[in-house]
Amino acid sequence: MIDSHCHLDLACFDNDIEQVIQRALDNDVHQFIIPGIEPEHWVKSVRLAAQFPQCYYTLGYHPFFYPRTLNAASIEPMITTLAAAIDQAITQRGFVGVGEIGIDRTLSTDLPLQIDLFDAQLHVAKTYRTPVIIHHRKSHDQIIGRLKATQFDQGGIIHAFSGNAEIARQYIDLGFCLGVGGTITYPRGHKTLNAIQHVGIEHCVLETDSPDMPMLGRQGQRNEPAYIRDVLDILDGALPDSTVNEIELITSNNVRRIFTQLQ
Ligand SMILES: [Zn+2]
């Protein structure tokens, strides 16, 4: 299996990253995608990919981590920094795309500013012909609108997809897979699970969002890639026409189809 979204670059993994990776391997999770959040963390992702052949990463600015001083004039230098980091990354192993980018309407950052930075990062991904990992919160309309307006055609993953089948279908038509994680282990995740049943596992990838989004029964604990099996078990129960092995294979193949650098 592949954990298509785990923030192994965060400080809470510093002390035991080797054990975290070993526990994942022991649970048949063999590869990890570390989404980028901001330049100081990008450096750690590059280092992890050099240290562990199972680790791959994307580079980008995550809406949670925008500088407090973010304004319209910040965008150009931020994009220059991102492009320089990608130029460097493509000479080494591990870089697979742009992300985690997005629009989050629960944050206080101005929506027009978020949209400009999202568009600018989509443009970077288009220039380098890489897929993107997209973060959404109360923002499906804006994200779908921007993907269409910018004619983004590199595809990628809608991280932590939540929503109905109609929204899922719109993302799929735009060339995206849906990231499926801990949400569906909770009763409140039934709407999202219904959407997945509707569109089919062939449009999904597995993810944990470690260290966040703990699975049901593990609340209050640090989440880690080894627990992705909890998601797999729920999907197995919800998709009677597919075996566990098929779900593993289909979702892993989807990640490899999106991130073609994965071996
Ligand atoms: Zn994330």
* Partners of 132 in the β-ladder: 98, 156
Ligand 1 midpoint to CA 26 (Å): 23
DSSP character at residue 59: E
- Domain contains 244: yes
Q: Would you say residue 187 lies in a domain?
A: yes
Alpha carbon of 34 to ligand 1 centroid (Å): 8
Question: Does 235 reside within a domain?
Answer: yes
Residue 167 token pair? 């929204």
What's the whole-number mean pLDDT along residues 93-106?
A: 97
Q: What is the mean pLDDT of the chain?
A: 96
Domain-located, residue 8: yes
Q: Kindly give the residue spans of alpha helices, DSSP state H, lying in the chain.
A: 17-26, 39-51, 75-89, 111-128, 140-149, 165-173, 190-199, 228-238, 244-258
Distance from the CA of 209 to the center of ligand 1, in angstroms? 5
According to DSSP, residue 154 is labeled S
* Cα 213 to ligand 1 centre (Å): 10
91 three-class SS: coil
In a domain, 263, yes or no: no
Q: How far is the CA of 71 from the centre of ligand 1 (A)?
A: 23
pLDDT confidence band for 150 (50 / 70 / 90): very high
Residues of the chain with pLDDT > 90, as a percent, come to 97
Q: Give the structural domain span for 182.
A: 2-258
160 C-alpha to ligand 1 centroid (Å): 8
**CATH code assigned at 198:** 3.20.20.140
- Within a domain: 241: yes
Number of domains making up the chain: 1
> In the prediction, which pLDDT does 263 show?
75
Name which residue leads in pLDDT, 1 or 68: 1
Helix 39-51, helix 75-89: angle, nearest 10: 10
User: Is residue 170 a part of any domain in this protein?
Assistant: yes
Residue 185, pLDDT score: 93
Q: Is residue 216 domain-resident?
A: yes
